[in-house]
A and B are shown apart, each in its own frame.
Chain A
Amino acid sequence: MKEEEQNNILNEVTQGDYKFGFVTDIDMDMAPKGLNEDIIRYISKKKNEPDFMLEYRLRAYRKWLTMQEPDWAHLKIPPIDYQDIIYYAAPKKKKELSSLDEVDPELLDTFNKLGISLEEQKLLSGVAVDAVFDSVSVKTTFSETLEKHGIIFCSFSEAVQNHPDLVKKYVGSVVPYGDNYFAALNSAVFSDGSFCYIPKGVRCPVELSTYFRINTAGTGQFERTLIIADEGSYVSYLEGCTAPQRDENQLHAAVVEIVALKDAEVKYSTVQNWYPGDKNGKGGIFNFVTKRGMCKGSHSKISWTQVETGSAVTWKYPGCILLGDNSIGEFYSVAVTNNHQQADTGSKMIHIGKNTKSTIISKGISAGFSNNSYRGLVKISKRAENSRNYSQCDSLLLGDKCGAHTFPYINTANSSSIVEHEATTSKISEDQLFYCQQRGIDTENAIGLIVNGYAKEVLKQLPMEFAVEAQKLLSISLEGSVG
């Protein structure tokens, strides 16, 4: 890293507060507060959905009513009033846009502040951006390029309109609506999200990316993402998140489903930097996400990479069901918690097919008064002969008021598989710090350097654009935690 860039990071670090906290005033089209079957019908009608979708939502809602909020996670969550949430908010419908100029300037400005100018993205990085602004997609770029390859990349509601067969076939196939409390809630009220289909044998030429934003106080965000990689295809999908500063807790319950058919490969990367609450633990986003991939065909591969720095509460276990023979699942994660943040995150690897392989690398960093837990499951079924798993989850503690916990569950039911799990918990080595300091690097910078080195194994899995952002985020998140 160049010296200038390092200085910049240091400056950002010393400034300290949440950088991306601002509110954009755009007229909103809102549903009344609360949740009942009428609201679900309202959402469905608003989005002009076919009957099967409404049926699905209602079934999910009825299931949800019978379920209870999970309490097994190592988290302290204040009670959530599900009737005090607005389940649908859409920016007012504008006429069809043909170029960026027609996009609401205020909206564009928001993106510019976040440093993800659509134009810039479009011109320089070659990334197609489907920007989700409070639940409804505003603008999709690069659709021409994608169209040429037959790739479908659009908002979920568009997909429901234009590709109902695909949606009907795959929605809920990886995360059934009754999977867990938050998945059921999402299935009932999901507002929008992204949909992606890569046809047979196509290698997606660009990295697909969505930026999610949560806006408008009191709006719960219920994203639904569905990625289908048909036989022999490849796609790298990026998801990044920032949210404005708010005092009120906001609920976020997303569902991400990935289906990889024979020989397909999906790489899913996330940088999550939602508002973590202030230094006293007030406010912040509640992030309850169900992410799961299904390696349906043989030789398929799904790889999750996540950098989690935001949210007051994170409850998230991206996992893979390795159904196809010789399929591969990977999970790379860096989770940083500071101040009063809480994270209970990890991965699930369910081995069903023969010769399936999975890797879990998880790096937790806790500072301040935060609690950071890794919770993972590696399950090898009887059929999964010659399967292999390697898990490593390390925790780094900065400060004596924080906690780091590891809950690895390992179950095996056949004799030809090998499962390994390793974990360490420690603080930054005094020797390393001393070494940096005697080379003239001050403590804060030295810690930034060491932490980045510690997380390198995961960061290097990220696509280039994300890696830079992630490194900055790590340093920002840890600001003020060292002394």
Chain B
Amino acid sequence: METKYNDIIFKEKVVSLFEQNRAQIGANDTTRMSKERDVAFKQFKKVGFPNKKMEAWRNTNLKDVFAYNYNIQFSPADEKPELIEAFQCNIHNFDTQTITLYNGWYLSEDKHLITLPNGTIIGSLAQAIKEYPELVQKHYNKYTNIEENGLIALNTAFSQDGIFIYVPDNVKTYKTIQMVNILDKEDNLFIQNRNLIIVGKNAKLTILHCDDSYNYSRSFTNTVTEVFIDEGAEVDHYKLQNLNDNSTLINTTYFHQELQSKLTTNSITLNGGLIRNKINVVLNGEGGEANVFGVYLVDKEQHIDSQVFVDHAKANCNSDELFKGIIDDNATAVFNGHILVRKDSQHTNASQTNRNVQLTDKATVYTKPFLEIYADDVKCNHGATIGQLDEEALFYIKSRGIGDYDARLLLLYAFAAEVINKISIATLRESIDDLVKKRLRGELAICDQCVLQCKDQENTYEFKIDISKI
């Protein structure tokens, strides 16, 4: 019975920690932020952590997560890790501007906020609050909903640092910005990051967001990211997750899209203990386009939960969702899609697809593609499948002299490739393609380092199959 109440115990701990460290947590706050922090804290105190009784959490149980004790760091660590070198994730031929969060704190050699020649500002959110309070205040906490669940409220109450990106109007950043989140601490860590990304009118931004762990320590990360996409702007967002099996990651991203803006987000989950990706997209201007894609490869005892909410608040918007997953061993995959077409959001085109390949009897898949529609001149569809590899396709490949194991790999790879092929940056696509192939071989699971710094970047990975036979 004791474990049942672990979340209550942890809640009490968190509450008292907040009260004790209130001054330090809110040291940089503006008046409004401070007020919101208190409101959020009150909300968290009221609702606590999400539990299985809540509809959105019925298939993701945090009970086991709370069975462990976690620590919170209220100030950045003193030691400067040498990791920064290792994590200059150099994808072959891929020029990126890297910014790093180390155990939840912004990590840099010198400045905490950099202004690029084209006016783009990137760096630490804590620093941005100091230097550009008005800009931050205009968007900070505007797109979240602390009533969604206790974790959002908790993040708003606790957030101290995170990544800040501002792209001014009409600026197109061709260089991909890479956000790397590294966890490396011997004690169990509870981290609450808050990221804010503002993309001005007609601007363009490509972000690669990596979550990696550096050791096998337990961790609990609760990240909230707000992305504001102004009129005519375009955002390409890639999320790459490769964490150790002891990590818990609750990732909530709010995309707010204005008139004629375009968003493509692609979540690639390769490894992790318990991962929950909640993606909220609000299409708040006509002519908006949102493409939400994801692929997850889970095995062992892993748990992946993909929650996508697309809110068609205005007419004439398009949204497309495609999530594919391969579930092996005792893993669990959850997909909850929700498309809301509000009254008068006419001429909406929305589609939602979730496909799963379940490889073992011990794996479990829960999928719930949900449509809520209040306008009539719309085209909405959703589809969900759970199945296995096509026996006939398998037979065909085997009849060409390819072994069972390779044939299966090839089909699994082809299954995942549908999502991977949607990545528009060629070098990134190739690199992720490689990672997926390696992951299917099982090699990534034993790779305890950041996926992107594997030394053999020069040699792209190929199946040992003579393709010409097919």
Q: Which residues of A contact B (CB under 8 A)?
A: 72, 74, 382, 395, 397-427
Partner of A427, one of B55, B366, B370, B376: B376
In the complex, what residues of B have CB within 8 A of residue A382's CB?
361
Q: Is B17 an interface residue (CB 8 A)?
A: no
When the two chains form their complex, are residues A403 and B388 in contact, meaning their CB atoms are under 8 A apart? no
* Docked pose: A382 CA to B364 CA in angstroms: 9
In the complex, what residues of A have CB within 8 A of residue B365's CB?
410-412
In the complex, what residues of B have CB within 8 A of residue A416's CB?
361, 388
How distant is A194 from chain B, measured CB to nearest CB, in Å?
35
* Docked pose: A415 CA to B380 CA in angstroms: 30
In the complex, what residues of B have CB within 8 A of residue A415's CB?
358-361, 363, 388
In the complex, what residues of A have CB within 8 A of residue B346's CB?
400
A411 in contact with B364 given A397-B376, A400-B376, A404-B371 (CB within 8 Å): yes
How distant is A19 from chain B, measured CB to nearest CB, in Å?
27
In the complex, what residues of A have CB within 8 A of residue B361's CB?
382, 413-416
When the two chains form their complex, are residues B368 and A409 in contact, meaning their CB atoms are under 8 A apart? yes
Partner of A410, one of B344, B366, B388: B366
When the two chains form their complex, are residues A418 and B344 in contact, meaning their CB atoms are under 8 A apart? no
When the two chains form their complex, are residues B373 and A404 in contact, meaning their CB atoms are under 8 A apart? yes
User: Known contacts A74-B372, A397-B375, A411-B367; can you find 11 more A-B pairs with CB under 8 A?
Assistant: A397-B376, A406-B382, A411-B364, A411-B365, A413-B364, A415-B388, A417-B386, A420-B384, A424-B381, A425-B373, A425-B378
- Among B55, B344, B373, B376, chain A packs the most CB atoms within 10 A around the CB of B376
A-B contact pairs, 16 of them (CB 8 A): A382-B361, A397-B375, A404-B373, A407-B368, A415-B363, A418-B386, A418-B387, A418-B388, A420-B384, A423-B382, A424-B379, A424-B380, A424-B381, A425-B373, A425-B379, A427-B378
When the two chains form their complex, are residues B376 and A399 in contact, meaning their CB atoms are under 8 A apart? yes
When the two chains form their complex, are residues A397 and B384 in contact, meaning their CB atoms are under 8 A apart? no
Within 8 A of A (CB), among B146-201: none
* Docked pose: A402 CA to B364 CA in angstroms: 36
How distant is A259 from chain B, measured CB to nearest CB, in Å?
29
When the two chains form their complex, are residues A426 and B366 in contact, meaning their CB atoms are under 8 A apart? no
* Docked pose: A22 CA to B10 CA in angstroms: 62
Q: Is B343 an interface residue (CB 8 A)?
A: yes
* Docked pose: A151 CA to B378 CA in angstroms: 51
When the two chains form their complex, are residues A427 and B386 in contact, meaning their CB atoms are under 8 A apart? no
A408 in contact with B376 given A417-B386, A419-B385 (CB within 8 Å): no
Query: From B369, which residue of chain A is reached at the shortest CB distance?
Result: A408
Interchain residue pairs A-B with the least CB separation, the first 4: A397-B376, A425-B380, A424-B381, A418-B387
A400 in contact with B375 given A417-B386, A421-B385 (CB within 8 Å): yes
Partner of B383, one of A74, A395, A402, A421: A421
Main secondary structure of the interface of B (DSSP, over half): strand
Partner of B376, one of A74, A398, A411, A414: A398
A400 in contact with B359 given A408-B368, A408-B384, A419-B387 (CB within 8 Å): no
- Among A382, A398, A415, A418, chain B packs the most CB atoms within 10 A around the CB of A415
Query: From A405, which residue of chain B is reached at the shortest CB distance?
Result: B372
* Docked pose: A411 CA to B359 CA in angstroms: 15
In the complex, what residues of A have CB within 8 A of residue B373's CB?
395, 397, 403-405, 425
Q: Which residues of B contact A (CB under 8 A)?
A: 55, 343-344, 346, 358-361, 363-388
In the complex, what residues of B have CB within 8 A of residue A414's CB?
358, 361
In the complex, what residues of B have CB within 8 A of residue A411's CB?
364-367
* Docked pose: A253 CA to B415 CA in angstroms: 47
When the two chains form their complex, are residues B380 and A72 in contact, meaning their CB atoms are under 8 A apart? no
* Docked pose: A403 CA to B377 CA in angstroms: 11
Query: From A421, which residue of chain B is reached at the shortest CB distance?
Result: B384
A401 in contact with B364 given A418-B388, A421-B384, A427-B378 (CB within 8 Å): no
How distant is A74 from chain B, measured CB to nearest CB, in Å?
8
Query: From A375, which residue of chain B is reached at the shortest CB distance?
Result: B370
* Docked pose: A5 CA to B367 CA in angstroms: 45
In the complex, what residues of A have CB within 8 A of residue B379's CB?
424-426
When the two chains form their complex, are residues B369 and A421 in contact, meaning their CB atoms are under 8 A apart? yes
* Docked pose: A400 CA to B375 CA in angstroms: 5
How distant is B422 from chain A, measured CB to nearest CB, in Å?
22
Query: From B366, which residue of chain A is reached at the shortest CB distance?
Result: A411
* Docked pose: A399 CA to B55 CA in angstroms: 30
When the two chains form their complex, are residues A406 and B370 in contact, meaning their CB atoms are under 8 A apart? yes
How distant is A134 from chain B, measured CB to nearest CB, in Å?
38
In the complex, what residues of B have CB within 8 A of residue A400's CB?
343-344, 346, 375-377
In the complex, what residues of A have CB within 8 A of residue B381's CB?
422-425
In the complex, what residues of A have CB within 8 A of residue B344's CB?
400
When the two chains form their complex, are residues A423 and B358 in contact, meaning their CB atoms are under 8 A apart? no
In the complex, what residues of B have CB within 8 A of residue A412's CB?
358, 364-365, 386
How distant is B303 from chain A, measured CB to nearest CB, in Å?
14
When the two chains form their complex, are residues B370 and A408 in contact, meaning their CB atoms are under 8 A apart? yes
* Docked pose: A74 CA to B372 CA in angstroms: 10
* Docked pose: A31 CA to B176 CA in angstroms: 76
When the two chains form their complex, are residues A402 and B388 in contact, meaning their CB atoms are under 8 A apart? no
When the two chains form their complex, are residues B371 and A426 in contact, meaning their CB atoms are under 8 A apart? no
Query: From B374, which residue of chain A is reached at the shortest CB distance?
Result: A403
How distant is A403 from chain B, measured CB to nearest CB, in Å?
4
A425 in contact with B55 given A399-B376, A408-B384, A412-B386 (CB within 8 Å): no
How distant is A371 from chain B, measured CB to nearest CB, in Å?
8
In the complex, what residues of B have CB within 8 A of residue A406's CB?
369-371, 382
Partner of A423, one of B383, B385, B387, B388: B383
When the two chains form their complex, are residues B371 and A402 in contact, meaning their CB atoms are under 8 A apart? no
* Docked pose: A401 CA to B376 CA in angstroms: 8
In the complex, what residues of A have CB within 8 A of residue B55's CB?
72
Query: From A376, which residue of chain B is reached at the shortest CB distance?
Result: B368
In the complex, what residues of A have CB within 8 A of residue B367's CB?
410-411, 421
How distant is A283 from chain B, measured CB to nearest CB, in Å?
24
In the complex, what residues of A have CB within 8 A of residue B386's CB?
410, 412, 417-419
When the two chains form their complex, are residues A427 and B377 in contact, meaning their CB atoms are under 8 A apart? yes
* Docked pose: A400 CA to B376 CA in angstroms: 5
How distant is A146 from chain B, measured CB to nearest CB, in Å?
44
How distant is A46 from chain B, measured CB to nearest CB, in Å?
41
Query: From A399, which residue of chain B is reached at the shortest CB distance?
Result: B376
In the complex, what residues of A have CB within 8 A of residue B359's CB?
415
* Docked pose: A382 CA to B360 CA in angstroms: 10
In the complex, what residues of B have CB within 8 A of residue A401's CB?
343
In the complex, what residues of A have CB within 8 A of residue B372's CB?
74, 403, 405
In the complex, what residues of A have CB within 8 A of residue B358's CB?
412, 414-415
